[in-house]
Structure 1
Amino acid sequence: MRSGAKVAVIGGVFAVVVGGVGYGAYNVLDGLGDSGVGGGSDAKTTSQEVRTGPVTKDEIAQTSKNFLAAWAKGDAEVASKLTNNAADAASVLTQYSESAHVTKAVITPGAATGSKVPYTVRATVSYKGKTKTWSYDSDLTVVRGLTTGHALVDWKPSVIHPELREGETLETGESSTASIEAVDRNGQVLSKEKYPSLGGILDELRKKYGEKAGGTTGIETWINSANADGVDKTLLTLVKGKPGRVTTTLDAKIQAAAEAAVKKFDKSSVAAVEPSSGAIRAIANNPANGFEPARSAAVAPGSTMKIITAAMIIQNGLGSANSPVKCPSTVPWEGVTFHNLDEFSMPAPTLKTAFARSCNTAFIKPVLPLGDKRDTALHDEAGQYFGIGQVWRTGIATVDGKVPASEGSETAASFIGQGKIQMNPLNMASVTATAAHGQFLQPYIVPKSLDNRTFATANPLPGGVSAQLKEMLHYTATAPEGTATQAMASVGGDKGAKTGSSEIDGHATSDSWFTGYSNDLAAAALVQSGGHGGDAAGPVVAAVLLAGP
């Protein structure tokens, strides 16, 4: 049916108007031919003046409705011409019906925020006589075409599904990996529906251990990873395979607390481990899908790094928890001046009180006597006693922390968690667990007996060092001047903590870091652009610790 024909609006929810003809845009539509859609892909035309400037409210509404209508109908050609990358859009939109086997789509848009239009997709997937409803949310952005001046959908694969990335494909069929039933340490079933942050982890555990656990395949809709060794993401299960049982170290109660805690802050993540065993008890991220900073970030940890720096100072005979140190407002190091927050100073601090106030200069000045060892001392301490820089085989993909040898001003920066230091919450939770337990035990999420992998090891902290670190962490979490005291006020038991904030190039606000322990649970959190450690990351860690033993 061409653009001159009349089509009834389906359901009366809304209509898009193209060439004077109304189309119901909430169902699989009839009658939306390519001559009935204005706009076109971003190819230059000469028949009219090219429009410039920001897209208007009307253009946003019209273009988004037209695109969603064509997509809902299953007309990949028409929908793709309403984007600024017709070729790539047509390929993904065609997959939606031909590879993902979507036979129907009802798309409900929400109110636009600027040029961004959110919507809910309620699709029907059918494969070999099996049918199931598939619902999810996504959004699109309308932009001005660079050559045509038309208002167009800014094409990216996430327009079709929020977890779809460049180079990935959608497919429905018999799964290539065996199903699993992942359970926590107490036998409670873990699902991505109940614990959204575990989606990627559960997919990875399935790929690695499903067959070993005796699982069989089912019929599913999934995203094919763009990497040959990547993990496919299951989006919908039409027919369940027989699941093999995989027991993890996770604790459902602690995981639930972590999931709730990260939802309070955008771009937040947290990990928790058990100091006495290294068992990972929780991993959570907000947003819950896509990149997982809790186990995969590699960013500066700020002053939480002072846990390792303090251990280095004590072990090298440069100070102790209760020995006096100097905390001037600034300290020079090879042509660079390092500052305390708001240029504060302390008149007569000990290493413990300087740690509690997070005095940067007090953790740079004592290291000056190390001479030639200054550039490698922190690297050696981190690797030999905290397991940082070694290869962790946790049972899932994780990014190992890095404390490289340095030189010049970067050496001083590394002592306060800046420079080339790279950590994520799982790394810092392990650092805190090591300080509390006195011995590094590599974090893991499934037992090594499952695949006979080798765990990383490190030397026990020398006598007295762990006790002093615990004393400093406890003081920071309980003393009136401690930067972690407010956040840890509700946490009971044997406890300790350290705050941190790290400056990131191009970010107006620093990242918020916090790490702490209570009894036999250690946790660390990162809130990107969250500011002071105690303000954002602190409450996340406290909520997780409260769920522990």
Structure 2
Amino acid sequence: MRRARRTLAATVTLAVASMTLTGCFEESSPHDAVRDFLVGWQSEDYDLAAQRTDGDVAKVREALADAKVELDAASFRFKITSVSVTGDQSKAGFHAEVDLGENNPLWEYDGVLPLHLVDGSWKVRWSPSVLHPQLKEGQRFAVDTNPTPRQPVVDRAGDALQSNQVLYVAGVYPAKVGDQAEAAVAKLAEVTGYAQDRLLSRVRSSPPDKFVPLVTFGRSRYQSMQAKLGAIAGIETQPQEQPVNPDAPRQIVGTVSALTPETEQELGGPQKAGDSLGKSGLQQAYQDYLTGSTETRVITLDLKTGKEVANLKEWPGRQNVSVKTTIDRGIQAAAEQAVSETETSALVAVQRDTGEILAVSTKGDLHQERDALAGKFPAGTAFSIVAADALLKAGMSPKQRLACPQERTVGGAKFVHLGQSTGITTSASFQENFARGCVTALASLARRVNADDLTKSAKAFGVGQPWRLPLKSFSGALPALSSDAEKAKAIAGQNVEVSPLSMALVAAAVASGTWHAPVLVTEPKSPDPSAEATPAAQPAPVPVDPKVRSLLTTMMRAGAAGTPAQGGKGKVYGVTATAGDQQTWFVGWQGDVAIAVLAKSYNAGAVAGSFFAGLGSRP
């Protein structure tokens, strides 16, 4: 599709060029010959071009057609730069732009057309140097490419987050396949579905003694195609190791596949048929960095020996680089082990002082990117951490006595405490009800805080903030709080949506004293190689009021003490919360690692305890 668009663009340019070339000259002159030759070459009307030379028409026509094939060119464009006449001799200068296709830069060069009078008509004096000043008899063009292997996605220590996998590359050595190239490529196209003309152009434009990769297969597809490939004379298959088999967190790292005929046509980018293509996760988001761009050279070759004669132009290509993440392999292993004990759960761990994502793990039908980073789940009483910030700022004391009845109505909204009934009336404090996640007690506080203060606290803890990650993510959403009922629902987390990532950052804010936007990739700074080499704008860090933080820390210590979340070495801080539909949360931290766990039909605190125990045993 990309090549088709380029050809169309060239045709449009040709119409303009024709007018440019013809507009100034109305009588027979060298200009007519120059014009017709260049217009014929550009429009692939090789008979028109050849008839304006003094060479054999058939040979000139063949040379012009061969030049397009040898360069695998999408189009040629020309502009006359000068014409001079001395008696029966003339010389015309021209500027050429050759689109080499495959997203390569334009090859631009200046050429010269010598002309002389033959029987009263101006003719281009034919020789290979008409095509390019350095092309001589017995030589041809070729395009030499040198693709670099795919680079890995790595963890914070620089170790690859994927292992090598053997891919199988089918291709040819042009010198070996010789005149059978067209037949070999036709059969390869038939069994693989790739466009025959594109494969053949690649063969014909390549140096004869260099292996030309045409199609890449994964193990299973290669095994199914092996017999058919082996039956094609001239086609060779070479195994090639590439870092494409993802390690944990697999869905964050992402998968890679060979480019298919369909995706090659659809993308129209720098990839060629058979190249590796990121299909998901960071492999997809950073495809252009991981693959870079191919080093390309336009050269001339000796027709007899196939050896390189001259290097006409080269483009080094953009250097491909590894993508460095903030993932900690040891912490990721602890997360994987913790969720393995459940049927359905998600765990996100972040560095409390930076917001760097250390681990992402899911089990069951939950997806690491779609759910752990970007999921939209009811916050439940886990949101009481944020609500407590607003309540404490409003003068609420952690020692304030609150009743925790089984049911309560606030502003017309009914709340039901689904936890174990302990007969709590006025004997429990705000801190104790916070620790137990008593919905009815928390909802009763709606009149103790105004809507603006709740909204400000939510924003300060990152809820709804426009942060940016290279993968999909969700920072949370809080509705307009227009009534006591809406405020009560917010304090109880019933009208608030969050992701496990957003809640892990809430825990990190209390733990460190400052909310930070999340970070997953430290290098490169942007998934787009054309973007400026500066980090995308992120929300600024937001400090937590020191007095409030001190109170919240004590309350969250009470929320974790004596629960299954207490695991490993060191104190655990956090809350275990319910969010309906047999869904539970644990949001808290131990040491410098803050986490959020979302579990279905399982105690999220127990998952947290297993995780913290795993942290204590890691190297």
Q: Is TM (by shorter chain) over 0.5?
A: yes
Return closer, same or farther for 1:546/1:208 CA change in 2, 3 Å cut-off: farther
What SS does structure 1 have at the residue aligned with 2:397? coil
Map 1:262-273 onto structure 2 (within 5 A). 262-273=339-350
Tell me the equivalent position of 2:604. Answer: 533
Of residues 427, 441, 457 in structure 1, which corresponds to 2:502? 427
Larger Rg over CA atoms: 2
Return closer, same or farther for 1:291/1:105 CA change in 2, 3 Å cut-off: same
Corresponding letter in the other structure for 2:572: K
Of residues 437, 443, 460 in structure 2, which corresponds to 1:364? 443
Of residues 253, 260, 266 in structure 1, which corresponds to 2:337? 260
Of residues 269, 281, 286 in structure 2, which corresponds to 1:206? 286
Tell me the equivalent position of 2:467. Answer: 392
Of residues 457, 471, 476 in structure 1, which corresponds to 2:540? 457
| Alignment partners' CA distance in 2, 1:486 and 1:425 | 19
| Alignment partners' CA distance in 2, 1:368 and 1:266 | 40
Tell me the equivalent position of 2:591. Answer: 519
Of residues 442, 458, 467 in structure 2, which corresponds to 1:382? 458
TM-score w.r.t. structure 2 length?
0.49
1:306 aligns with 2:384: yes
Corresponding letter in the other structure for 2:553: K
| Alignment partners' CA distance in 1, 2:590 and 2:507 | 11
Cα contact 1:499–1:538 (8 A) shared by 2: no
Identity %: 24
Map 1:478-517 onto structure 2 (within 5 A). 478=561, 480=562, 485-488=563-566, 490-503=567-580, 509-517=581-589
Cα contact 1:105–1:124 (8 A) shared by 2: no
Of residues 368, 387, 405 in structure 1, which corresponds to 2:480? 405
Return closer, same or farther for 1:396/1:475 CA change in 2, 3 Å cut-off: same
What SS does structure 1 have at the residue aligned with 2:594? strand
> 1:126-146 CA deviation, whole Å, 9 max, x = no partner?
798446699xxxxxxxxxxxx
Tell me the equivalent position of 1:18. Answer: none
> 1:152-204 CA deviation, whole Å, 9 max, x = no partner?
xxxxxxxxxx999xxx96679999579xxxxxxxxxxxxxxxxxxx9943314
Cα contact 1:523–1:544 (8 A) shared by 2: no
Tell me the equivalent position of 2:407. Answer: 330
Map 1:112-511 onto structure 2 (within 5 A). 123=224, 129-130=236-237, 200-207=280-287, 209-210=289-290, 215-216=292-293, 244-286=321-363, 292-317=370-395, 319-342=396-419, 344=421, 345-347=423-425, 348-370=427-449, 373-374=450-451, 376-383=452-459, 385-408=460-483, 409-419=485-495, 421-447=496-522, 450=525, 451-478=534-561, 480=562, 485-488=563-566, 490-503=567-580, 509-511=581-583
Corresponding letter in the other structure for 2:556: L
| Alignment partners' CA distance in 2, 1:413 and 1:175 | 50
Unpaired runs of 5+ in structure 2?
Answer: 1-188, 195-213, 242-254, 272-277, 296-317, 526-533
Corresponding letter in the other structure for 1:252: R
Corresponding letter in the other structure for 1:368: R
Corresponding letter in the other structure for 1:263: S
What SS does structure 2 have at the residue aligned with 1:308? helix
Cα contact 2:575–2:587 (8 A) shared by 1: yes
Cα contact 1:325–1:349 (8 A) shared by 2: yes
Tell me the equivalent position of 1:146. Answer: none
Tell me the equivalent position of 2:170. Answer: none
Cα contact 1:270–1:540 (8 A) shared by 2: no
| Alignment partners' CA distance in 1, 2:479 and 2:410 | 18
Tell me the equivalent position of 1:23. Answer: none
Shift of 1:496: 0.4
Unpaired runs of 5+ in structure 1?
Answer: 1-93, 108-120, 135-161, 179-197, 219-240, 504-508
Structure ranking higher in strand proportion: 2
TM-score w.r.t. structure 1 length?
0.55
Return closer, same or farther for 1:349/1:206 CA change in 2, 3 Å cut-off: same
Number of positions where the alignment pairs a residue of Structure 1 with one of Structure 2: 351
Corresponding letter in the other structure for 2:342: F
| Alignment partners' CA distance in 1, 2:368 and 2:263 | 16
| Alignment partners' CA distance in 1, 2:474 and 2:601 | 22
Tell me the equivalent position of 1:157. Answer: none
What SS does structure 1 have at the residue aligned with 2:428? coil
> 1:250-285 CA deviation, whole Å, 9 max, x = no partner?
111111222333333233221111111111111122
Q: CA RMSD in A?
A: 4.2
Shift of 1:494: 3.7
Cα contact 1:523–1:541 (8 A) shared by 2: no
